[in-house]
Amino acid sequence: MPVAALVAVWCAVGVLLALAVLQGLVASGKPYGRLEWGGAHEVLPPKLRIGSLVSCCDEVETSDSPVALTARPTWGLTRLAEAAAAGLPRAHASQRVR
C-alpha cells in the first residue's frame, strides 16, 4: 500500500473521530450548537441532543470504513455508502427542526 494512501486513510479516520467528539460535546449540552444542526441553537434542545448522540455513535462506527477500504475495497465502499444513506434522514431533519 502506498504511503500516500495510508496517510489519506488515517486522515479520514481522524476527521471522523473529531466529528464524533464534537457531536458528543453537543449532545452533552456544551455550547457548540452553532457548529451543528444548522446553527440555530447555542445549546441544543433535547430532541437534537438525541440526534447528536446517535450521530456520535454512528461516526465512531463508520470510522472503521476507511481502514476497511485498504483491506477489502468492496466491503469498505459498501460501508461508506451505508453510512451516507443513514445520514440523509438526519440531514433532512436538521433543516426542518429550528
User: pTM for this one?
Assistant: 0.66
Cite the DSSP H helix spans in the chain: 3-27, 46-62, 65-71, 73-96
C-alpha cell at 55: 450521530
> Quick one: pLDDT at residue 63?
73
Backbone Cα Rg of the chain: 15
pLDDT tens, the chain, 98 aa long:
678 877 877 888 888 888 889 989 999 999 988 888 888 889 999 988 988 888 888 777 777 766 666 666 666 566 667 666 666 566 555 555 54
Distance CA 93, CA 98 (A): 10
Residue 38, helix vs strand vs coil:
helix
Please name the residue that has the C-alpha cell 453510512: 83
Domain that holds residue 24: 3-96
Q: How many CB atoms lie within 10 A of CB 9?
A: 18
Report the number of distinct structural domains present in the chain: 1
